[in-house]
């Protein structure tokens, strides 16, 4: 007895079972590689010839041109604080947990140095040991 097989034409099929996996991996890739900025306060930074990288997770103290303060402990977006007393309280909360926690001062270039000096003095009094000033590097001709 001879069994006959019907011949069916082969159809082109695109495997879509792994498409969801690929899309999920792309979403994870872009989430991991995206740089997040905790402070989006618009300001003009002072120019410097030399720049250093700041530590990730650093506490950010933003001083705007009008002298108002914004603060972030490093994990969340910056939020307004109530003048110098609010800034002092926020600084002390961070330094109480970790004295070597890095701080970054982001000040508009038109801010009076007296204000920056007051912020630096409060960081010193709170025991902060790792403080940096944010600036914009100049390009060499």
Each residue of 30-81: pLDDT tens digit?
A: 888 776 555 666 666 666 677 677 777 888 888 888 888 888 887 777 788 8
pLDDT tens for 12-31 read: 777 777 888 888 889 998 88
Q: What pLDDT score does 82 carry?
A: 86
Nearest to 139 by CA among 48, 44, 43, 53: 48
Range scoring the smallest mean pLDDT among 17-21, 47-51, 94-98, 124-128: 47-51
Contact 61, 118 (CB under 8 A): no
Residue with the larger pLDDT of the pair 124 and 55: 124
Residues in the chain: 141
> Residue ranges of the domains in the chain?
47-137
Q: What is the pTM of this model?
A: 0.63
Q: How far is CA 15 from the centre of its chain?
A: 40
CA dihedral for 81, 85, 91, 93, sign (positive or negative) = negative
Q: What pLDDT score does 34 carry?
A: 72
Round to whole Å and give the CA distance between 53 and 87.
Answer: 24
What average pLDDT does this structure show over 81-105?
A: 87
Round to whole Å and give the CA distance between 63 and 56.
Answer: 20
Range scoring the smallest mean pLDDT among 29-38, 65-74, 97-106, 119-128: 29-38
**CATH (residue range 47-137):** 3.30.420.270
Residue 21, Cβ neighbours under 10 Å: how many? 9
């Amino acid at each position: 007895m001879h069994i006959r097989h019907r011949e069916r034409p082969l159809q082109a099929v695109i495997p879509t079972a792994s498409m969801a996996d690929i899309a999920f991996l792309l979403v994870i890739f872009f989430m991991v590689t995206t740089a997040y900025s905790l402070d989006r306060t618009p300001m003009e930074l002072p120019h410097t010839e030399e720049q250093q990288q700041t530590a990730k997770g650093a506490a950010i103290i933003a001083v705007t041109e009008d002298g108002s303060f914004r603060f972030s402990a490093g994990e969340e977006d910056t939020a307004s604080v109530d003048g110098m007393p609010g800034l002092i309280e926020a600084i002390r909360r961070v330094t109480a947990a970790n004295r070597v926690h890095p701080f970054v001062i982001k000040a508009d270039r038109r801010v009076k140095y007296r204000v920056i000096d007051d912020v630096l003095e409060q960081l010193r009094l709170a025991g902060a040991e790792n403080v940096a000033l944010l600036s914009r590097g100049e390009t060499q001709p």
